[in-house]
Every structure is written in C-alpha cells, then in structure tokens.
Amino acid sequence: MSGRLRILFISMEYPPETGGGGIGSYVATVAPALAARGHDVHVLSCSPGQEYRDYADQGVHIHRRGQVQIWGLGRIGLILKAPQTVARLRSGLSTFLAYRRLKSEFDVIEYPDWGAEGWVLALFHSTPLVAHLHTPLPLIQWYNRMPMSHDVTWASFLEHFSVCRADAITSSSQLLVKALEKIGWLQELNVEVIPYPIDWIRWRNVRGVSSTPPIVLFLGRLEPRKAPEVVAKAIVILREEIQDAGALFVGKCSGCCDGLPYSEWVEMFAPGVSGCTYAEQVPRHELGDILSRARVLAMPSWFESYGIVALEAMAAGRPVVVTYTSGAAEFVERTGAGRTVPPGDHVALAESLRPFLSDPEYAHQVGELARAAVRQDLDPDKIAIQREIVYKRVSAAFAR
C-alpha cells in the first residue's frame, strides 16, 4: 500500500460547534497533524440537531450531520427508562448511515468508546477499525458515585462491543488501561498507549505567570468525579497565609448538583469560602485569556483518563497540581512540571499549591519547564507518527 492514508475520525464532539470535550479536542489536534503529513483526513460529526455542512479546516475535510429520527425509539426508551441506551443506538445508526452516504472508501476509521458511535461500524466491520479509549461508562458511573442501572449496563454493552470488534485499541494512558483491566472490561485485549497530542503553538503566546495574581484555576465539568470542592477547601487554608489567594472555577454543570448554580454547589462543601469566582463553560478560543488570569492549574479529579486541560495549561506556561489518579500524573512527575497529590485530600492540595502562589518567580520557572516538556514530548507531529504506524499496520493486516 502507498504511504498516503485515507483516514476517517468519528467524533460528535468535534469542536468548535459541537462541544468542548476531550475527545473533540484530541481530534481537533491530531487530524490536522496527520493532514500535514500528507494523509487524506476526514472527520464525521453526527450530533442531534446539527446543521448539514461540508467544509475544510486546516487541511481536514469536515462532515457535519444531524442524527436520524427512528420512529418509536424514543418512546421505547421512555417505557424502558433507558435514555442512555437509546442515545447510543441512535448515535451509532446515524454515524453508519452518514458514513455510507459519504460514498468514500477509507483505509482506516477511528472512533471513541464514549457514546458507542462506532457500534454499527463494528457490527458490519467492512473497513479497518481503531477504537480509542476515552472513559467508558462504568468508570464514569463509579467515580460519579452513580449506580450501574439496567440502562447504563445496556449502554455500556454497546460501547464495549464497538471496542472489542476493532482491529486495534489505543489509550491515552496506562492508568486508564489498568482501571479497565481491574473491572474486567478489556478481557485481556491488547491496548497500545499513545498520549494525546498538545498543540503547543496555540498556547505559546499566553503570558507567563510572573505578573499574575495568586489565582488557582479549576477548568472542567461540575461533577463529583472532577472534585471542584476540593479546590475550594484548599483555598480556605491558603487564604490564612496568602490573603489575596483565590480560585477561578470555569466549567459547565453536568446535572450532578441538583440544579444549583455552580458557585452555590461548590460553596456547600466549603461554607464561607471567599476569594473564589465562577464562570460558565467558555469556547476554546477564549481559554488562552482564562489561562492568562491564573498562576497555577489544579486538577483534583478522583479519576482522569488523561487530563488534556492540565497539559494545555502546561503548554501555556502554567505549573499544575494533579491527582495521581490522573493519566497526566506520570508526565508531570517525570518532567518536574508540577506536583501530584492524593485525590480528595484538600490539605495536601493546599500544601502543593502554596509554593506557586507565594513565589511567582518559582511558579514561572516551573511553568516554563512545563511548556518545554509539552513541546518536546507531546508535539502533534510526533504523536501523529505514532498513530500513523498503528493505522498502516491495521490497514495492511485487514487487506491480507
């Protein structure tokens, strides 16, 4: 086969129009990197209510579609109380039909586990498939302290089916692989670990931290797994010594806080906390401004398969403090670009944040170390080469 591949990425999250999740951020970085290497790269995004559009972006062909309406499926979901299962059934069917209507042959198709977007593609399996692990439903349920209902079980089956039927499985971190092996989700399947690429050029002009106030940034969805309340509790401790210390919380409520506004939900866990400000989720093009307002980023998640926000903050010259239950922890420790703490320990978080908040020059030194590490190890072209090797191998094997 020739060196040039025709690659199709499946991602309903593909930004900027359909959300800002980690899957979409990953595709938005790796797809242009592969296109720059001479490959013919396409992205198919099927999201409910989305306008039909075809256009090119950074050398990548984007195909935006809505989702098919299947008569009676929604009613069945209501009767069986299975909205997540119905969403995945519709997503997979919509993706497959949209793919067929492209009337194009691809050397490889890559889809995420999340959302089971590839389950029909996996069922027919007429093209080489690569499944990329993000965070399957069982882990989401466990770390958000939610039960494995019959709906979640069926929805998880569809995600699992799409992964097991793929010709290759990749993961952004060894942490995620071990977590899935522990619950028996992978069933001894071989998984290749390839970190997410970070577009360091995008963040290189964010100003350094020397002139920033002692502000801690929390960036992510409002849900128990992300543990924003741990940051609020740490700020209570830090303000006893650093009076102008504060935290900026930026994120979207994921429906896990009983409908309370963002700030009220966090304050429930740290009554009387001051020095904290709150903002709704912002578009990706505004994140540079958000990062420029903070001196250090905290990612206190109980579990994070990778943690793109932490690596992007590092690319912007910010030191980070992450839990060792995040995929980024090994990279942070190895490069000296921040610190790692146990999950749920606000005292340890405060202790690790203190040196960065009290000494802006030290924060600047570590931040620049972080910036250099991301540029060296997570350059999009370097990661694209690793994924290219996987695609060529599965394509050649499928042809045989």
Is 395 domain-assigned? yes
Contact 220, 299 (CB under 8 A): yes
In this structure, the answer to whether residues 192 and 231 fall within a common structural domain is no
Q: Is the pLDDT of residue 379 over 80?
A: yes
Is 300 domain-assigned? yes
In this structure, what DSSP letter does residue 345 have? -
In this structure, the answer to whether residues 119 and 148 fall within a common structural domain is yes
Phi/psi of residue 375, each to 5°?
-60, -35
DSSP string, 211-270: TS-SEEEEES-BSGGG-HHHHHHHHHHHTTT-TT-EEEEE--B-S-STT--HHHHHHTTS
Is 219 domain-assigned? yes
In this structure, the answer to whether residues 150 and 62 fall within a common structural domain is yes
In this structure, the answer to whether residues 162 and 90 fall within a common structural domain is yes
Q: Is the pLDDT of residue 256 over 60?
A: no
User: Which of 11-25, 250-264, 382-396 bottoms out in mean pLDDT, i.e. has the lowest?
Assistant: 250-264
Question: How far is it, in rounded angstroms, from Cα 335 to Cα 89?
Answer: 42
Is 189 domain-assigned? yes
In this structure, the answer to whether residues 215 and 187 fall within a common structural domain is no
Q: State the average pLDDT over residues 224-241.
A: 91
Q: State the average pLDDT over residues 185-210.
A: 91
Q: Is the pLDDT of residue 336 over 50?
A: yes
Cis peptide before 136 (omega within 30 of 0): no
Number of domains in the chain: 2
DSSP string, 44-60: EEE-TTPPPEEEEETTE
Is 80 domain-assigned? yes
What's the CATH code of the domain at 20?
Answer: 3.40.50.2000
Structure tokens at 345: 């320990």
Q: Is the pLDDT of residue 273 over 70?
A: no
In this structure, the answer to whether residues 280 and 391 fall within a common structural domain is no
Is 183 domain-assigned? yes
Question: How far is it, in rounded angstroms, from Cα 2 to Cα 399?
Answer: 13
In this structure, the answer to whether residues 27 and 121 fall within a common structural domain is yes
Q: Report long-range pairs for 277-281 (Cβ below 8 Å, ≥24 apart).
A: 277/246, 277/247, 277/248, 277/249, 278/248, 278/249, 278/250, 279/248, 279/249, 279/250, 280/250, 280/251, 280/252, 281/20, 281/221, 281/250, 281/251, 281/252
Residue positions counted in the chain: 400
Structure tokens at 84: 């997540």
Contact 93, 99 (CB under 8 A): no
In this structure, the answer to whether residues 191 and 228 fall within a common structural domain is no
In this structure, the answer to whether residues 189 and 306 fall within a common structural domain is no
pLDDT digits (tens, 9 = 90+) for 148-170: 889 999 999 999 999 999 999 99
Is 1 domain-assigned? no
In this structure, the answer to whether residues 192 and 302 fall within a common structural domain is no
Bigger pLDDT: 399 vs 110: 110
In this structure, the answer to whether residues 268 and 339 fall within a common structural domain is yes
- The residue among 230, 250, 252, 234 whose CA lies nearest residue 242 is 234
**Average per-residue pLDDT for the chain:** 90
Q: What is the pLDDT of residue 1?
A: 44
Give the predicted TM-score (pTM) of the model: 0.91
Contact 36, 98 (CB under 8 A): no
In this structure, the answer to whether residues 373 and 251 fall within a common structural domain is yes
Residue 88: which domain range? Answer: 6-197+379-399
Kindly state the percentage of the chain with pLDDT values over 70: 94
User: Which of 17-26, 207-216, 219-228 bottoms out in mean pLDDT, i.e. has the lowest?
Assistant: 17-26
Q: State the average pLDDT over residues 53-70.
A: 93
